[in-house]
A and B are shown apart, each in its own frame.
Chain A
């Protein structure tokens, strides 16, 4: 649909005249030419589309979200740069929760099954998506993975995205929330350098806090940068190694899982 006036779905089109090409001059965009008669002396015409490039991903994401909702599943999309500790945090989280609720993990990496293996060692089902050269998961990949796995009814599905602070921000997977992980070894200003990701996240896990005594890392500064990009972001200081902050993270999970269960049909 045309965003300027709401006219026509899928392309009201106009016979148009070629603006340039031979001359090398830039073709001018003619905003809202629909309905305007143009000279009919060329074989080209203008097709008006006004279509969102992410619409197809959005449609898959909506389907995934519907599936999560009807099964009472809290789905979380974990995003960070490579090595921030997503898998380490997941392993520790699964160990803490596995006796009390159903859990599953989708692992995204360009190559290898290593992270899924680390997850499976905890006894939890994990399915690995290898994106090859792809730098992020998209909703269609997740949909395919969902068809091949047992859904964690009324439980939690963790989706570990490809380690990358840029690309996964744009792709909704159907998750209830994005959880960003930033580790103390990465520098305080990552939220300003990669604002899209920190804007998109509901929760920030500041990981590797066990290392703070050995680093020059101003954690309060990192937090204030994250809040500049996203004033509503919840921040938890955590360590997958020492277990510091795990209680707060587990409480956050519990609260959000209750929310997902409430939305599920009885």
Chain B
């Protein structure tokens, strides 16, 4: 389950921010998880709750913002919303939509004290 190491990376970003920006407690964490990012939202929540124990983010609430996948057809340039990597272009029928949005995994914002 790679969500565990991704949750650890997210925590590390938060811990670095705690040092750089001088806060001691995190109340809320907003993560952006793209629909096409190969992260399972529930697995991420589960792992996040596990890794924050006894850290500056202990007890923080996790808010996951899921962003939609957006693809551009490699052949005809048509842009459309996609939910998988193997959807055919609605305009020309070819496969291989290039991902233009919805594959990000980001720590967006924190609410801290």
Contact = CB atoms under 8 A, between A and B. Distances in A.
B112 A27 contact: no
Given A26-B63, A228-B95, A199 B107 contact: no
A135 interface: yes
Contact of A44 (B12, B17, B27): B27
Contacts of A138: 5
A49 B85 contact: no
B42 to A, nearest CB: 15
B78 interface: no
Contacts of A195: 84-86
Which size class do B's interface residues fall under?
Answer: 35 or more
B9 A196 contact: no
A3 B95 CA distance: 28
Contacts of B112: 44-47
Interface stretch (A66-74, A79-87, A165-173): A165-173
A185 B54 CA distance: 46
B21 A230 contact: no
Interface of A: 3, 10-11, 13, 16, 18-19, 21, 26-27, 29, 43-57, 134-136, 138, 166-167, 169-171, 191-192, 195-196, 199, 225, 227-232
30 contacts: A3-B106, A10-B20, A19-B28, A21-B61, A27-B28, A29-B65, A43-B113, A45-B112, A47-B17, A47-B23, A47-B112, A48-B108, A49-B109, A51-B107, A52-B104, A52-B106, A53-B9, A54-B9, A56-B12, A57-B9, A135-B1, A167-B1, A169-B38, A170-B2, A170-B6, A171-B2, A228-B96, A229-B85, A229-B95, A231-B96
